Amino acid sequence: MYSNIVSGALQGVRSVLVNVEVDVSSGIPLFAMVGCPGSEVRESKERVWAAFKNSQLPMPVSRITVNLSPADMHKEGTSYDLPIAIGILESSEVIPAGSSDNILFLGELGLNGEIRPVRGVLPIVTEAAKRGIKECIIPAGNSAEGAIVPGVIIRGAESLTQVLEYLRSPSEEKLPREPVYSFNNDSPEGSSAEYEEDFADVNGQDAAKRAAMISAAGFHSFLMTGPPGVGKSLIAKRIPSIMPPLSREESLEVTTIYSVAGKLPPGSTLIRKRGFESPHHTVTLPALIGGGQNPRPGAISLAHRSVLFLDELTEFDRKAIDSLRQPLEDHEVHISRARYSISYPADFLLVCAMNPCPCGYYPDRNKCRCTDNAIRKYLGRVSGPILDRIDLCVQMNPVSIKDISAGKNGITSAEMRSRVILARIAQKKRYEGTSYRFNSEIKGSDLEKYCPLNEDEKTFLGEMFDKLGLSVRSYHRIIRVARTIADIEGSDPILREHILEAASYRPNFEYWMT
């Protein structure tokens, strides 16, 4: 007998529905699986067989053929276990024919018949809802995640026998539906109060705090340099606390990425807080960018709408650093292999930290013994194209005993966040109806339109261009940053003091002057 069970497969952060076709017929006992299954999918037959045995369910002694359609698309993962098992039960008439119609099944089977969580539930359920599927039976550990999607009934199952009983005689008691998730924009979740880190904990370093606020307001990439122990990592970890809470659309994007990556804890719903990804400098390219044999999102995609922090920037492999160039421009990463080509979102705020020399103490010649050539070689590990994509550079010095003794008397994350939101509102109004969202994204050809300068400021910036020997890219960068500073201050025109402050965030090493 033949049965057709609906399931789903991932393609990047998107999904397609997969028909799990099962045919049980007479002949020499055989369990054949076709339809381009990966190694994890091929192992499914062993898990299904053991789950049947330990759940006291009859495994037909027949020829069993399973086809995963579309057959020309590679399938991977363990989520096909449950639909294959249901297909066998329906084909062998253990459950009534048609009982699985208009239902999507997803889940990994344990050898004891337990249904275990799988990754990628959110995008698959989203696709099912778009295609008119009315009901989804998924692992109980993923049910809260699936309930985010409106318009489809989500039932979280804990075991194969529980699903079997429900399909034989559907009732809410046997397999209750998961309550629909309600997104409340007024929820305090995602506010600065939800973060343990607060900028009030940082002693001194007012210039770096100011630059961090500008970075968060205009989504400008940010580089901190300074000797060890001055608070570079301390400041970076607190940047998410001054960013606005995620909108519903942003939360869905981030949650989908985490779902595809298998990073959502069981029982999780929408992610509402900005994330903070800080990969170690030994990170591999697939771990940073994404990909692998079974492609998954990398750190830059997990940092989508959030902060990607690269500590000890010069210790990262040169190829890893340069691989960020395209995602920084396109806000997504494209991964092409012989068997697949996928894209992952990667709209992240890049924050970096590094020492100014190999020993870390330049320009303090009482401690630093590095030669000029060694310093030049050390800084040269950061390529020019990447440096050109960093808008804010701050040189941090050790804090004084006065700052340490003062304790928590600086600006708080809540205060900084209110100013960041003020700047974000100004940008949203300014770029309404365009593809721009932040000042950092403005193309050079549109600067005159969105960042006009008065004659005095234009003359002043022109004199600065000549005296400092700025490049065109540096010139445009100063205007973009100045626009963000003006937004933070609530100023419509860009003033001279805004331009001066923006110019101060240029790289201050003589080897980096542009």
Coil vs helix vs strand at 424: helix
Residue 380 pLDDT class (50, 70, 90 cuts):
confident
Fold match, 2-168 / 192-421:
no
pLDDT for 185 equals 46
Per residue in 419-467, pLDDT (tens digit) is 999 999 999 999 999 999 999 999 999 999 999 999 999 999 999 989 8
Q: Is the pLDDT of residue 514 over 90?
A: no
Per-residue DSSP letter, 344: E
Q: For the residues 369-397, what does the mean pLDDT come to?
A: 88
Return the closest-CA partner of residue 78 out of 104, 117, 36, 127: 117
pLDDT for 405 equals 64
CA dihedral 182, 185, 191, 195 (to 10 degrees): 20
Per residue in 328-348, pLDDT (tens digit) is 999 999 988 776 788 999 999
Other beta carbons within 10 angstroms of residue 186's beta carbon come to 4
Q: How far is CA 197 from CA 241, 467, 483, in A?
A: 7, 41, 28
Mean pLDDT (the chain) is 90
Encoding tokens for residue 424?
Answer: 């974000």
Cα of 107 vs its chain's centroid, Å: 24
State the amino acid at position 178 in one-letter form: E
State the amino acid at position 280 in one-letter form: H
Strands 307-310 and 349-354: parallel
Q: For the residues 307-312, what does the mean pLDDT come to?
A: 96
pLDDT for 188 equals 42
State the amino acid at position 207 in one-letter form: A
Per residue in 73-98, pLDDT (tens digit) is 889 999 999 999 999 999 999 999 98
Gap between the Cα atoms of 338 and 434, Å rounded: 36
Dihedral sign (CA 43, 47, 52, 54)? positive
Contacts of residue 74, defined as CB under 8 A and 6 or more positions apart, other chains included, come to 36, 38, 339, 340
State the amino acid at position 96 in one-letter form: P
pLDDT for 377 equals 87
Return the closest-CA partner of residue 66 out of 93, 48, 54: 48
Q: Is the pLDDT of residue 186 over 50?
A: no
Q: Which CATH architecture has domain 192-421?
A: 3-Layer(aba) Sandwich (3.40)
pLDDT for 386 equals 86
pLDDT for 337 equals 75
Element (H, E) at 429: helix 413-430
Gap between the Cα atoms of 447 and 439, Å rounded: 10
Cα of 449 vs its chain's centroid, Å: 32
pLDDT for 504 equals 92
Per residue in 20-38, pLDDT (tens digit) is 999 999 888 889 999 999 9
CB-based burial of residue 450 (10 Å sphere; 0-12 exposed, 13-18 middle, 19+ buried)?
Answer: middle
Q: For the residues 126-147, what does the mean pLDDT come to?
A: 95
Return the closest-CA partner of residue 406 out of 235, 203, 205: 203
Q: Where are the beta strands (DSSP E) in 103-256?
A: 103-105, 108-109, 115-116, 135-139, 153-157, 222-225
Per residue in 246-292, pLDDT (tens digit) is 999 999 999 999 999 999 887 788 898 999 999 999 999 999 999 87
Backbone dihedral angles phi then psi of residue 371, each to the nearest 5 degrees: -80, 160
Coil vs helix vs strand at 479: helix
Per residue in 398-413, pLDDT (tens digit) is 887 776 666 556 789 9
Per residue in 58-72, pLDDT (tens digit) is 898 899 999 999 998
CB-CB contact of 489 with 218 (8 Å): no
Q: Is the pLDDT of residue 132 over 70?
A: yes
Q: Is the pLDDT of residue 375 over 60?
A: yes
- Where along the chain do its domains lie? 2-168, 192-421
CB-CB contact of 303 with 261 (8 Å): no
The packing angle between helices 206-218 and 472-488, to 10°, is 100
Encoding tokens for residue 164?
Answer: 């079997």
CB-CB contact of 492 with 474 (8 Å): no
pTM comes to: 0.90
CB-CB contact of 86 with 50 (8 Å): no
CB-based burial of residue 282 (10 Å sphere; 0-12 exposed, 13-18 middle, 19+ buried)?
Answer: exposed
Alpha helices in 71-181 (DSSP H): 81-91, 121-130, 143-146, 160-168
- Least confident range of 5-19, 286-300, 447-461: 286-300
Q: How far is CA 502 from CA 17, 63, 185, 479, in A?
A: 50, 73, 34, 8
Other beta carbons within 10 angstroms of residue 81's beta carbon come to 28
Per residue in 148-170, pLDDT (tens digit) is 999 999 999 999 999 999 999 99
Residue 7 has, within 13 A of its CA and on its CB side, a CA count of: 34
Q: For the residues 171-176, what does the mean pLDDT come to?
A: 89
Encoding tokens for residue 88?
Answer: 């066998």
Encoding tokens for residue 319?
Answer: 């190829």
Residue 513 pLDDT class (50, 70, 90 cuts):
very low
Gap between the Cα atoms of 65 and 20, Å rounded: 10
Residue 203 pLDDT class (50, 70, 90 cuts):
confident
Other beta carbons within 10 angstroms of residue 302's beta carbon come to 23
Query: 2-168 in CATH: which number?
Result: 3.30.230.10
